[in-house]
Structure 1
């Protein structure tokens, strides 16, 4: 009968077929690392291990007997299914790494499959702040220049994009983008008074958005301008995210 150390020795000494794949998931979820076998490969023994950032034994199957009670950082968060796929969860950010399953069939052939797991934090809801371009001239009631600034905490691996709501063409219209697309510059007219803009933040496994109607801030700032004679400044107007 094969021992655990015999299987590991076989992996070190014999030619092995290796398959690489990437699996994406997010913190708090469970993920299934699917074990794939070549045609005609009848598994007798199998070993799941984490390879990086540290090498640990996670689960084994010997002649149909499944075992997961190994002391590792996944203890209590591992389930080995009858098809030898490994379920991990709930996931933590530190769980990203490489995993490997070594299988031996009834004729002594070996097969190794390696997978890379990447765990992301769920994207938080962003905050959008509206800045109004104010000049010393009398404000025009039918035009407004605005800058929409979008920000989300824990911004690692986050991508920013903008969407104009309520239009067949969801592009933001005539605009300029700055600071890795976090800042959107717009020139608005009367026809834009009911138009909303959404900042969308996303990573490979999740997304969220915040929506503002910038024309409302234009009118608010125009009223303030009549009371205060400031010149050539950009005035901020924070908007509550509307989803």
Structure 2
């Protein structure tokens, strides 16, 4: 009896016209989602069938005359629960679970209703990484200001957006030219009054978000502290010294290369015995 009902439902599905993707449902990897089966109050469901439509059509759950069944061989086996209101719960979700799902319902009067839902599964956003880069001081720049570039990056994540927030404000309110590469890089000019001001990079997708906060003035080094050396002072010493050592090495290779070859040639010549002339032997007539 159950098999005959199932075949009748599949026949109903084959005869019904194609249904466009309906409402979109969003969730994240590791979570669960509830796909709601909606019908009018006067629609008394007698039989129902849930299908996954991508990448191939798979039977997930059925309802026949009060009996719920979810033990069908599919990629969701063990991760499916059919509730009494015929809504389908999936979880824990995986990255490849995105796709279209449909439910076919038949009421006690033989009327059929098909509903299609689109599920989109996102990865949870990890904590971003913010780096601070100091711009070289320009001619027109005040000696008491520091121009910095804040770079924000979230690893191995797609479909994300970047935004920035200054401490004590709801939004950054930065000019458009202050943002680069789709909001990943922010350029700000800091003064002595901004020593304790922090900036937060907010990374988000439709289902999750995270942020990282930095105080960029700490990276500004207009003057090295007593007893400490700034990275600029280190570069002024290390770079010329490296160039000097490289030039000395090249000069040594150029100078000693020919001399060494000549010396080896002289030693080899001293060790070889002098050649003696072989007497000519003439045949007697």
Structures share a fold, TM > 0.5?
Answer: yes
Alignment of 1:96-111 (within 5 A): 96-111=98-113
- Residue 107 of structure 1 deviates from its aligned partner by 0.4
* Contact kept? 1:51, 1:97, Cα under 8 Å: yes
1: CA distance between counterparts of 2:154 and 2:111?
A: 51
Q: In the alignment, which residue of structure 1 is the partner of 2:178?
A: 176
Instruction: Identify the structure with bigger relative contact order (alpha carbons < 8 Å, sequence gap 6+).
Output: 1
In the superposition, the TM-score normalised over structure 1's length comes to 0.86
Q: In the alignment, which residue of structure 2 is the partner of 1:26?
A: 28
Higher mean alpha-carbon deviation, 13-22 vs 53-62, is at 13-22
C-alpha offsets along residues 29-58 of structure 1, whole Å, 9 cap, x if unaligned? 010001101231000000000011211000
2: CA distance between counterparts of 1:144 and 1:129?
A: 15
Q: In the alignment, which residue of structure 1 is the partner of 2:126?
A: 124
- Residue 3 of structure 1 deviates from its aligned partner by 1.8
Q: In the alignment, which residue of structure 1 is the partner of 2:283?
A: none
Q: Which runs of 5+ in 2 are unaligned?
A: 225-229, 238-285
* Contact kept? 2:137, 2:147, Cα under 8 Å: no
Matched, 1:196 2:198: yes
1: CA distance between counterparts of 2:66 and 2:18?
A: 22
2: CA distance between counterparts of 1:95 and 1:128?
A: 32
Q: In the alignment, which residue of structure 2 is the partner of 1:163?
A: 165
Matched, 1:88 2:90: yes
2: CA distance between counterparts of 1:121 and 1:141?
A: 45
1: CA distance between counterparts of 2:24 and 2:172?
A: 32
* Contact kept? 2:24, 2:117, Cα under 8 Å: yes
2: CA distance between counterparts of 1:172 and 1:14?
A: 53
RMSD: 2.2
2: CA distance between counterparts of 1:176 and 1:14?
A: 55
Residue aligned with 2:193, SS? helix
* Contact kept? 1:19, 1:112, Cα under 8 Å: no
More strand by share: 1
Q: In the alignment, which residue of structure 2 is the partner of 1:49?
A: 51
* Contact kept? 1:18, 1:112, Cα under 8 Å: no
- Residue 20 of structure 1 deviates from its aligned partner by 1.0
* Contact kept? 1:144, 1:187, Cα under 8 Å: yes
Residue aligned with 2:135, SS? strand
Equivalent residue for 1:72, pick from 60, 71, 74: 74
Q: Which runs of 5+ in 1 are unaligned?
A: 231-243
* Contact kept? 1:16, 1:110, Cα under 8 Å: no
* Contact kept? 1:23, 1:117, Cα under 8 Å: yes
* Contact kept? 2:123, 2:157, Cα under 8 Å: no
- Residue 102 of structure 1 deviates from its aligned partner by 0.3
2: CA distance between counterparts of 1:113 and 1:189?
A: 59
More helix by share: 2
Change (3 A) 1:184 1:4: same
